[in-house]
């Protein structure tokens, strides 16, 4: 009987050694959770071609429900650009840079959107760029809309952006009603405008 008992005890100890400790299982679960959150954030900030508008949070444009105020000089012509100049018109605010590959990917769709949607005003915000690079980008993609030059990235910091491009959709009172993080398509711009018009 004692030999059988000793054998059972050895088998139980061997089984315990093969299984991770409770602390090890908790650490493994935490690591898996962190990996999943990281993957979700990366997807949200870099997804291309499939980005659709989401409801905006207060961080998108200051206090929730308040009109967004933004102005600055245009990197192309040096003129003052102010959202207040477009009172009563919905605004598609596209944050971009000439060095941004996602911005290049959606640039033609944005140019088409601008030409085919005169009921909305497209305004760009050129983040951490040079005037020469911005001018070349405009020529390359046939953009016509104004942009606000933001060489220091202050606007990106204000909106707490983690990447470019990003597009905010403002209703007629210039309240942020939807946003797209990452590049999008013509359909994505259309859907965002519908929320701004609704």
Distance CA 186, CA 25 (A): 46
Range of the domain at 184: 51-197
Q: Look up the CATH number of the domain holding residue 58.
A: 3.40.30.10
- Quote the number of domains for the chain: 2
Two tokens, residue 160: 């707490």
Distance CA 53, CA 192 (A): 5
Domain identity same for 122 and 33 = no
Question: Average model confidence (pLDDT) for the chain?
Answer: 80
Q: What pLDDT was estimated at residue 156?
A: 87
Q: Which tens digit of pLDDT belongs to each residue from 107-142?
A: 999 999 999 999 999 999 999 999 999 999 999 999
Domain identity same for 65 and 142 = yes
Q: Which tens digit of pLDDT belongs to each residue from 6-49?
A: 555 555 555 455 555 555 555 444 444 443 433 333 333 333 34
């Amino acid at each position: 009987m004692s030999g059988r008992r000793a054998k059972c005890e050895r088998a139980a100890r061997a089984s315990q050694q093969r299984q991770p400790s409770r602390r090890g299982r908790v650490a493994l679960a935490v690591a898996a959770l962190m990996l999943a959150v990281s993957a979700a954030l990366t997807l949200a900030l870099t997804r291309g071609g499939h980005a659709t508008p989401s409801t905006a949070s207060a961080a998108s444009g200051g206090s929730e429900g308040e009109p967004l105020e933004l102005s600055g000089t245009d990197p192309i012509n040096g003129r003052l650009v102010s959202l207040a100049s477009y009172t009563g018109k919905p605004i598609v605010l596209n944050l971009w840079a000439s060095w941004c590959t996602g911005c290049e990917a959606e640039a033609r769709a944005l140019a088409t959107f601008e030409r085919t949607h005169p009921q909305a005003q497209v305004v760009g915000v050129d983040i951490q760029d040079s005037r020469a690079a911005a001018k070349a980008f405009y020529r390359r993609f046939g953009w016509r809309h104004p942009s606000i030059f933001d060489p220091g990235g202050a606007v990106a910091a204000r909106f707490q952006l983690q990447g470019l491009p990003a597009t905010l959709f403002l209703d007629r009172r210039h309240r942020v009603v939807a946003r797209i993080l990452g590049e999008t398509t013509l359909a994505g711009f259309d859907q965002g405008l519908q929320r701004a018009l609704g």
